[in-house]
């Protein structure tokens, strides 16, 4: 059986086990909530038939969401931290989608405590399932997969990283035949045997019955690829080439095909299409919930702004967001209507005498930003992301600050990684960019959740908020 077939079967088995666990946990949660004495039942025990009707959509929701968040990728399907991270994201989002489904279908009023119990147990159950699947994988892979004989050719950080990742993850049995390349770099590869210069590639592949050849040289030494690929083009061993273009890309680069032509695309944000869809769904649900819950606060702040000075309550200002698109960002007005008539667009400074007393309070507490939840609902912004800037300043900074424009690879946010670390107002622009790029490169639902939790503690009221 081929390795790709075995991985496919293992992935299918994992999905079936996950679905079975989720449905089992649904019934276990019903038992714990209504049939035990752990949680008192005040309004009587609901009909089990009503809860049973949710089993099928429940299985579909969890299966689809776990797939979308990438929980079934080869490097995340095994038991471990990477799997746990994706299962937390998948279980949390699946539970939110389930709650939305129950709300809009109006099947019945489900116990909120029941849904909390189910959300917690579903994560624990899925992790237990992955643990036992991992044991089964370890037990069966030695019997199903013969170790793949791999020859490394080259040197440099990409090849070293490839080796270390394989050694830590061990996705399938592998036998390292050795490495060909400059002898001076042998220490980079640890215990991998050094077999000689890469001129021995063809004879080594034939004599050692190599299954796979992995080739990588630093970008300063690119001329060896052509000779090696030409020599090995008639061999049965599969060949993987790891190009060293990392220094040319701030985020990631990925290989693909366009019109049948192999291409490399640089500065590709790690956030894929499914990730953006999930983030957008959370933005819609989160902004709707906030606008509904804090509607009275909006009314009070609107009245204060109206009394502070003549003019509209909401101030609209052009900002640049994702992909360089300009949109109108909303704020509670904190200055008189004609404040910029004489000065034009200026950078925010402390103790600006143009700011009204109410406006100073709103800025100091960041309450002037609350209308931006409407921007989130419209799709101009996200709950979390780099703060949008005025186009006139973007044109000024794009050539002065390295990598400045890369922050526009994602939607701008009401709050962000830079803001909770104090990089706002008249602070270091370079540090702000570094934090924005760190956020984009390391984005996850958990990171967004962390930023949202820390924002009321670190972001709203801050010395640099003015």
Q: Is 253 exposed, middle or buried (0-12, 13-18, 19+ CB in 10 A)?
A: middle
Q: What is the pLDDT of residues 93-126, one digit of tens each?
A: 888 888 777 777 766 667 777 778 888 888 888 8
Q: What is the pLDDT of residues 282-313, one digit of tens each?
A: 899 899 989 999 999 999 999 999 888 888 99
Structural domains in the chain? Answer: 3-143 (no CATH), 148-244 (3.40.50.1980), 273-459 (no CATH)
Residues 6+ apart with CB under 8 A from 247: 219
Q: What percent of the chain has pLDDT over 70?
A: 84
Model pTM score: 0.63
Quickly state the pLDDT bin for 364 (edges 50, 70, 90): confident
Quickly state the pLDDT bin for 423 (edges 50, 70, 90): confident
Mean pLDDT (the chain) is 82
CA–CA dist 416, 420 (Å, integer) = 7
The CB density around residue 205, as the number of other CB atoms within 10 Å, is 24
Quickly state the pLDDT bin for 330 (edges 50, 70, 90): very high
CA–CA dist 175, 465 (Å, integer) = 57
The CB density around residue 206, as the number of other CB atoms within 10 Å, is 12
Res 158: pLDDT: 85
The residue length of the chain stands at: 466
Q: Is a pLDDT exceeding 80 seen at residue 402?
A: no
Residue 317 near residue 390, CB atoms below 8 Å: yes
DSSP 8-state secondary structure symbol assigned to residue 322? G
φ/ψ of residue 462, rounded to 5: -150, 145
Quickly state the pLDDT bin for 466 (edges 50, 70, 90): very low
- Which of the pair, 462 or 302, is modelled with greater confidence? 302
Rounded average pLDDT over 436-441: 88
Helix ranges (H only) for 294-346 are 295-308
Rounded average pLDDT over 381-401: 88
């Amino acid at each position: 059986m081929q390795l790709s077939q075995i991985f496919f079967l293992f992935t299918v088995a994992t999905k079936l086990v996950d679905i079975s666990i989720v449905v089992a946990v649904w019934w276990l949660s019903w038992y714990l909530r209504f049939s035990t004495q752990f949680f008192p039942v005040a309004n009587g025990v609901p009909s089990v038939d009503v809860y049973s009707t949710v089993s099928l959509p429940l299985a579909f929701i969890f299966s689809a969401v776990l797939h979308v968040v990438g929980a079934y990728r080869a490097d995340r399907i095994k038991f471990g931290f990477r799997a746990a991270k994706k299962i937390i994201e998948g279980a949390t989002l699946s539970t939110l989608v389930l709650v939305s489904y129950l709300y809009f279908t109006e099947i019945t009023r489900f116990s909120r405590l029941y849904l909390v119990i189910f959300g917690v147990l579903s994560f624990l159950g899925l992790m237990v399932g992955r643990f036992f699947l991992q044991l089964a994988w370890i037990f069966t892979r030695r019997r199903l997969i013969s170790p793949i004989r791999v020859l490394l050719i080259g040197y440099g950080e990409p090849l070293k990283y490839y080796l270390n990742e394989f050694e830590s993850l061990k996705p399938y049995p592998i036998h390292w035949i050795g490495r060909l390349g400059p002898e001076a770099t042998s220490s980079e590869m640890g215990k991998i045997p050094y077999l000689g210069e890469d001129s021995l590639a063809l004879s080594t592949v034939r004599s050692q019955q190599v299954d796979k050849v992995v080739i990588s040289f630093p970008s300063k030494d690119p001329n060896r690829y052509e000779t090696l690929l030409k020599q090995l083009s008639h061999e049965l061993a599969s060949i993987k080439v790891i190009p060293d273009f990392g220094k040319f890309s701030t985020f990631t680069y990925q290989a693909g095909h366009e019109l049948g032509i192999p291409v490399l695309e640089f500065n590709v944000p790690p956030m894929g299409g499914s990730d953006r869809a999930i983030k957008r769904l959370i933005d819609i649900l989160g902004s709707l919930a906030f606008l509904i819950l804090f509607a009275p606060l909006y009314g009070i702040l609107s009245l204060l702004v109206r009394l502070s000075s003549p003019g509209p309550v909401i101030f609209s200002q052009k900002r640049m967001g994702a992909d360089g698109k300009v949109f109108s960002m909303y704020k509670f007005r904190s200055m008189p209507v004609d404040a910029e008539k004489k000065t034009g667009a200026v950078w925010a400074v402390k103790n600006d005498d143009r700011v009204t007393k109410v406006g100073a309070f709103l800025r100091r507490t960041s309450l002037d930003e609350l209308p931006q939840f409407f921007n989130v609902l419209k799709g101009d912004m996200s709950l979390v992301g780099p703060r949008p800037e005025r186009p006139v300043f973007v044109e000024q900074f794009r050539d002065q600050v390295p990598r400045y424009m890369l922050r526009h690879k994602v939607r701008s946010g009401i709050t962000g990684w830079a803001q909770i670390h104090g990089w706002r107002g008249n602070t270091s622009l370079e540090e702000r960019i570094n934090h924005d790029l760190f956020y984009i490169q390391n984005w996850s639902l958990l990171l967004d959740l962390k930023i949202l939790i820390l924002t009321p503690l670190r972001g709203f009221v801050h010395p640099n908020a003015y």
